[in-house]
Chains A and B, each alone.
Chain A
Amino acid sequence: MTESLEIITTSSDEGTLPLNESLSREIYEKMLTIRRFEEAVLEIYTQGLMRGLAHLYIGQEASAVGICSALNDDDYLTSTHRGHGHLIAKGGKVDRMMAEMMGKVDGYNRGKGGTMHIADMSLGILGANGIVGGGMGMATGAALSGKMRNSGQVAVCFFGDGAINQGAFLESANLASVWSLPVLFVCENNHYGEYTAASDVTAVREHVAERAAGFDMPAVVVDGNDAVAVHQTAMEMVKRARAGEGPCLIENKTYRYRGHHVGDGDPEKTYRTQEETDTWLARDPIPRFARRMMKAGMVDETELDTIDATITGLVEDAVEFAKESPYPVADEVTDHVYA
């Protein structure tokens, strides 16, 4: 049953960095941008500048960046309610994202979508999604479209461990497989669907990626906190998809350091243990990648500080941009119901 299941639990060698310097820097900067962006979201939310729900991606950065660094600008992506990281990884602009968080007119969606619906069609970002598993059909359809147009485009469908139990997964995975569509189903297994442990509600022996066997597609289980392992896996699977060899399932094992959404209490006091969280904190993808860059002689501590200061400044500018942007005028409420 698990013939096609490949397991990469850790990156080959923590001591080396088998990526070139410019790619390594790009990956590091993207991951750090996501981290600083999410910290800023937490701050504006706490200050009352953002309403609704904020599902933070903190801790999962290697997954989004590792996958998206293997994509072309015109490849497609569908995201989730925890989508900020995917958008930044695919090239989304933090100022327009931040404005959307606050419901401002300069936001990506002119304030009409908010955190759970940001899209940038020019970057192939077909939207974050408020429905668990809601993007699976869309990613499959985008891959079908690319295949019918012979464009060479692939589609990445990000989803969580919760969505693997949605019927949409079965229907989309089957369709993608029988039509040999260029889709990468990327399950970010952060081990909790909202407040319930995935292991309590998912009938698999160990890895959710075992489900791929039922769809005759290859699967890879990856240390999702290792950007190198994720990137290398994605490169291989994207190449395979572009060559017409069909879909795959990648399971990035990762962890969200915060709760399900901002303001929903302390996870360590309810549904998970401090010990478990500490284990994952020790695997934080960002310092881990930084250590490898330093060992490879690409950066030193001083330069890391400079990078951080630059990114922090960029995010602060985004917050200012968002604050200064006006709300959309009331007349806009009926715009865009129809194209």
Chain B
Amino acid sequence: MSTPERVITYGEAVREAIAEEMRRDETVFFMGEDVAAAGGVFKVTVGLLDEFGDDRVRDTPISEAGIMGAGVGAALTGMRPIVEIMFGDFITIAMDQIVNQAAKMCYMTGGQASVPLTIRTTIGAGRSSAAQHSQSLQAWLSHIPGVKVAIPSTPADLKGLLKTAIRDDNPTVIYEDKMMYALKGPVPDDDDYTIPFGVADIKREGSDVSIVATSSMVHTALKAADMLEQEQISVEVVDPRTLSPLDMETIVRSVQKTSRAVVIDEAYQSYGVTGELASRISDEAFDYLDAPVKRLGAMDVPVPFSPGLEPETIPDEEKLVRTVQSLFHDVPV
């Protein structure tokens, strides 16, 4: 018997995941800038303050390092904090606490300490928020041993991964694409619905090329797949869902089937997620590849403000289609 489903938004998935876990475990609490009374700048946490009160749903000062440090300390001492960093760009201010403290406590203490801290933050350009409110910095923390990183593309994935993160005994980061909060999708109607980290999801099956896509780029890949179908190119879309741990097994299996791979992610292309994924595919699936692995990330420029410029910098379905075509024909990318 299959679990009944409901259609909710990506934003509602956040709220439901937090509320369900806070009901389930009284050590879970939530803090961040403007998250309580205002319900967050994207309004995704509206109602949590009313249900749980201001001890467990806390508005903080605008002090990213301080909030993160408090989250680490609370996590070390019996609580399971969820910390929101409003824009992923602001996580730079809290980096010491994540990279040098949270990520290393378990290891440095020889396993004595654990840091069950969940960090929620946003990524994604596309709303003319300019260079300090639009970046996709998921590569930064994926680079750090000791941190787990999820990058969900649908309401169902977001809800399941966020609930898993809250229950996990390690520092975890959920990168939510701020452009997707209104995106709707089916979610299993089950309070105990979770998705394990390290399990990729095939978002569309195909046989000619694998597009490995993250977050909003999954939807870009699905659109490109529709367009390429007209040209008789059958696209498989693989969503890793978590960058750390990374489910290479599923990715390699897909490439074994299709013999071609394109990687797409909204982080800056240089030294980023696409570079890592392309390298791993080349290493681990080399014998199956009929063409070089191609990749598509954001342009290596600060995200511009002007609507005339911003779209140029973000990977889109037209660029992706051209990239895929280049694997089959001699086309300029």
Out of A107, A121, A134, which one reaches B96, CB within 8 Å?
Answer: A134
Q: Mark A114-136, 1 if CB is under 8 A from B, else 0.
A: 00010111000011011100101
Counting CB contacts under 8 A, is B17 at the interface? no
Do the beta carbons of A137 and B97 come within 8 Å of each other?
yes
Residue contact A109 to B106, C-beta cutoff 8 Å: no
Partner of A109 from the list B63, B69, B73, B108 (CB cut-off 8 Å) is B108
Partner of B145, one of A119, A145, A337: A337
Q: Is B314 an interface residue (CB 8 A)?
A: no
Q: Are A145 and B108 in contact (CB under 8 A)?
A: no
Give residues of chain B (64-78) contacting chain A, Cβ–Cβ below 8 Å.
Answer: 65-78
Indicate whether B105 reaches chain A with its CB closer than 8 angstroms.
yes
User: Measured between alpha carbons, how far is A130 from B67 in the docked complex, in Å?
Assistant: 20
Q: Which of A110, A142, A149 contacts B76 (CB 8 A)?
A: A142
Chain B residues with Cβ under 8 A from A139's Cβ? 73
- CB–CB B78/A145 < 8 A: yes
Q: A338-B146, A338-B148, A339-B170 are in contact. Are A110 and B111 (CB under 8 A)?
A: yes
| A267 / chain B contacts, CB cutoff of 8 Å | none
Q: How many residues of B contact A (CB 8 A)?
A: 44
Query: How distant is the Cα of A167 from the Cα of B66 in the complex, in angstroms?
Result: 9
Q: Can you name the residue of chain A whose Cβ is closest to the Cβ of B83?
A: A141
Expressed in whole angstroms, the Cα–Cα distance for A4 and B51 within the complex equals: 39
Closest Cβ of chain A: how far from B243's Cβ, in Å? 15
Given A126-B113, A141-B71, A145-B74: A134 and B106 within 8 A (CB)?
A: no
Q: Which residues of A contact B108 (CB under 8 A)?
A: 109, 112-113, 117, 119, 127
Asked if B132 is an interface residue, CB under 8 A from chain A, the answer is no
Q: In the complex, what residues of A have CB within 8 A of residue B72's CB?
A: 137-138, 141
Known A-B contacts A119-B109, A336-B107; A171 and B66 likewise in contact (beta carbons under 8 Å): yes
**CB <8 Å contact, B110 and A140:** no
B170, A144: Cβ atoms under 8 Å?
Answer: no
From A172-180, A206-214, A247-255, give the one contacting chain B: A172-180
0/1 per residue, A157-173, Cβ < 8 Å to B?
A: 00000000001101110
User: Which residues of chain A are within 8 angstroms of B146 by Cβ–Cβ distance?
Assistant: 337-338
Identify which of B60, B69, B145 contacts A136 (C-beta below 8 A).
B69
B169 and A126 form a contact (CB under 8 A): no
Question: CA–CA, A111 to B112, complex, Å?
Answer: 12
Cα distance, A148 to B25, chains bound together (Å): 14
Q: Is B4 an interface residue (CB 8 A)?
A: no
| Interface residue? A335 (CB, 8 A) | yes
Chain A CB within 8 A of B55 CB: yes
**Bound complex: CA A126 to CA B74 (Å):** 11
> Nearest Cβ distance between residue B210 and chain A, in whole angstroms?
28
A146 part of interface (Cβ distance < 8 Å): yes
**B10 at the A interface (CB under 8 A):** no
B268 in the interface (beta carbon within 8 A): no
Cα A120 to Cα B112 in complex, Å, equals 8
Whether the pair A127, B105 counts as a contact (CB closer than 8 A) is: yes
CB of A155 within 8 Å of the partner chain: yes
Measured between C-beta atoms, what is the minimum distance from A246 to chain B in Å? 15
Inter-chain contacts of A174 with B (CB < 8 A): 61, 63, 66
Asked if A76 is at the interface (CB within 8 A of a chain B CB), the reply is yes
B222 within 8 Å of A by Cβ?
Answer: no
Closest chain A residue to B96, Cβ basis: A131
Q: At the interface, yes or no: A108 with Cβ under 8 Å from chain B? A: yes
Partner of B60 from the list A110, A120, A175 (CB cut-off 8 Å) is A175
Q: Are A142 and B74 in touch, CB under 8 angstroms?
A: yes
A172: B residues at CB distance < 8 A: 66, 69-70
**A142 & B73 in contact (Cβ 8 Å cutoff):** yes
- Asked if A141 contacts B69 (CB within 8 A), the reply is yes
Q: How far apart sit A197 and B122, CA to CA, in the bound complex (Å)?
A: 42
B169:A145 contact, CB within 8 angstroms: no
Q: Report the separation of the CA atoms of residues A3 and B172 in the bound assembly, to the nearest whole angstrom.
A: 44
| Cα A139 to Cα B71 with chains together (Å) | 10
Residues of A within 8 A of B29 (CB): 148
A109 touches B66 (CB 8 A): no
Q: Note all chain A residues with C-beta closer than 8 A to B97.
A: 137
Distance A78 CA – B79 CA, assembled complex (angstroms): 17
Chain B residues whose C-beta falls within 8 Å of the C-beta of A175 in the assembled complex: 60-61, 63, 66-67, 70
Q: Are A130 and B100 in contact (CB under 8 A)?
A: yes
* A138 in contact with B111 (CB, 8 Å): no
Query: Known contacts A149-B79, A175-B60: does B107 contact A168 (CB below 8 Å)?
Result: no
Asked whether B69 lies within 8 Å of A140 as measured between CB atoms, the reply is: yes
A171 touches B69 (CB 8 A): yes
- With a cutoff of 8 Å between Cβ atoms, the chain B residues found around residue A126 in the complex are 73, 76-77, 113
Query: Least Cβ distance of B162 to chain A in Å?
Result: 18
Flag if A138 contacts B76 (CB, 8 Å): yes
Question: Beyond A111-B110, A145-B77, A175-B61: 17 further Cβ-contacts under 8 Å?
Answer: A112-B108, A112-B110, A119-B105, A131-B100, A134-B96, A137-B97, A141-B77, A142-B76, A144-B74, A148-B79, A168-B65, A172-B70, A175-B70, A178-B61, A336-B106, A336-B111, A338-B106
